[in-house]
Amino acid sequence: MNTHPFFRPLTLTGLLVACIAGAAFADTKTFDGGAGGLGTTLDAADNWNPDGIPVTTDEAVLDNSSITLPAALTIDSNQTFGDLVINSVSLTSLTLTGSADRNITLSGGGGSTAAITAGGALGDLIVLGTDVTGTVSIGNGTGSGDLELTLGADGNFNVVNSSAVLSIIEPIDGAFTITKTGAGALHFFGNASSFSGLVVENGLVGTSRGTGLGSGEVTLGQTGGTNNVTLAISGQSGGTTTIANDINVLAQASGTITISNTTVGDQIAQNNEVSGDIALGYGLTINSNRANRSLTVSGMITGSETLTITGINTTTANVVISGNNATSFTGDVVLSAPLFFEQ
């Protein structure tokens, strides 16, 4: 075959080299503790299998497939993982050991093979898998620095089991949206988180910080969904937690959607407030669940769906509706706990 000198046939070897050079392949790195399985830091290359600290195209797996993980693993440098898969019955915390602030960035670039194997799903940035039935916390540590998470993409925080809790101690940065999936609980204790949106499709999301839910709208439920969804609000001792985010309640097919004034982790309910507007596309339950404390809804409620007021049924654990809802809300109100209107 005659060819122009500028156009040469590309050999199979050339094709393979071109493909390898043009693509970054996701890998799975599993923590194995290095020689003897005694390592506890995520910063050491030989503590992973295969050797090497996970990078932005890798899934970082913390499970008991290689060793029985200790209760606490530590980190003292900034790292970027594609996603973080936690599926260990023994691990309870990921903490910082140093005095400088550090970040784990979740890029979303690792694929989801390991996440799915652990019981998660495509698009998970963090998954607490099927083996996790207790609480796993990320943040704090033995030093004076803070360990924070940074988002590099939209993605899921998936807590698979209903008895499992993922507790995020410090703020979360990154202008991306977190979607809470799985039947378990996700607790935000960091102040001034800057992630740009929160969608709660399943289970419970709780916070004790007014700015713990990010800077954007909070969406509760899933269009056509059937899951039970709860937004739980606790408070700092002696203080008030005010949720200023607008809240959008989506039209589910079934299930319950609840905003509750209640204990989150070790933080008990105070006199708390929802000052953002609430748009009802589905029935909403507002619950006040601690004696001598109230939950005030001062934002505007819009929609024609049913609003149900529940609680421990005492005059000291009540719900206060103080927004101007005379024309914006046209639904029914069902009372099984004290409700007060303030205009």
Reported as a single tens digit per residue, the pLDDT across 82-95 is 999 999 999 999 99
Segment 216-230 mean pLDDT: 98
**10-19, 101-110, 139-148 — which is least confidently predicted?**
10-19
Q: In the chain, pLDDT over 90 holds for what percent of residues?
A: 74
Question: Is residue 300's pLDDT more than 50?
Answer: yes
Are 245 and 217 in contact by the 8 Å Cβ rule? The answer is yes
Of residues 164 and 98, more confidence is placed in 164
Residue 30 has pLDDT above 50, yes or no: yes
Output the pLDDT for position 236.
74
Backbone phi, psi, residue 14, to 5°: -65, -40
pLDDT band at residue 136 using 50, 70 and 90 as cut-offs: very high
> In which band, very low, low, confident or very high, does the pLDDT at 9 lie, cut at 50, 70 and 90?
very low
pLDDT of residue 125: 98
